[in-house]
Amino acid sequence: MPLPPSKRVVFKRNPLFGVAAQMRFHPILRIQVETPAKFQEAIRSQFAGYEVVNPSAIAIPPGVPAEVQVAMRASLQSSLNISFDRAHRFVSGDGNWTVQLSQDSITMACKGYPRWEEFREKFRPVFDSFITIYSPPFAMSVGLRYQNAIERSKLGHVGVDWRDLLSSFIAAEFGCDGLSEADIVSDLHRFEFKEGSDRILVQHGMATNNLTKESVYSIDCNLNAIGKVELKDVITRLDQLNKHSGSLFRLCITDRLFTSLEPTDV
């Protein structure tokens, strides 16, 4: 499915609450049996915190609706693939950035997303240090994940129907004559499609913020370059996935919602 081209912008009122980049590789047993001391030293100036974690214990920011949390956790293995062996997590001083290293993947994530260029600049030295220390021959896949939660009250849309903010591409039921938003009990959706050689998984739906009791809409996009990726091409493939993500998100929302997010030219 060729995604329609979309002008790249940065949102001042960004609905993202989580972004992650991941590279997968054939298992490296050293990572499972040894403490990654050399890797820690290489990135410690930016990621001073350290802990051993269960990768399935995903960290979700407070206030994310319970329904969205359930969907996120259920999608772990089908989105950005996660090994269920132990992993090593390194955390930035402000807690916004994490690097997670397991025997078959390395993932960098953030909660407060600045813009792609800054994210990539943060990821590059982590990637380079990993390659230098562990020498994988190639990547089995690379991926990006963008998690959005649209809250109408924060965007000046109290009382506005979802049909006026979301396109029929993802939320056709809201445009159905005779069916009101109040009548819809649940509308969690999941679909996957091909974009050239890449695969894109979208999970979306309406939920309730447990703290404010407000109805919110979650759009969780997982973009993956499937198959062997040469190490020299990893950053380029991530750039391409990022480009897909902008086009996909624009396809999901109406002009009214787009404008209220306060887009600025890059």
d(CA 127, CA 34): 19
Decide which of 7 and 119 is more confident. Answer: 119
Indicate the burial class of 245 (C-beta count within 10 angstroms; 0-12, 13-18, 19 or more).
buried
Indicate the burial class of 138 (C-beta count within 10 angstroms; 0-12, 13-18, 19 or more).
middle
The arithmetic mean of pLDDT across residues 96-120, rounded, is 96
> Across-strand partners of 49?
91
**pTM of the predicted model as reported, rounded to 2 decimal places:** 0.86
Whether residue 109 is predicted with pLDDT greater than 60 in this model: the reply is: yes
Mean confidence (pLDDT) of the chain:
89
The pLDDT tens digits for 77-93 are 444 444 446 899 999 99
Looking at residue 116, what is its pLDDT? 96
- 87 contacts 55 by C-beta, under 8 angstroms: yes
The CB density around residue 192, as the number of other CB atoms within 10 Å, is 13
* Residue 205 amino acid letter: G
The pLDDT tens digits for 28-58 are 999 988 999 999 999 999 999 999 987 555 4
Reported confidence tier of residue 1, pLDDT bands at 50, 70, 90: low
The arithmetic mean of pLDDT across residues 226-241, rounded, is 96
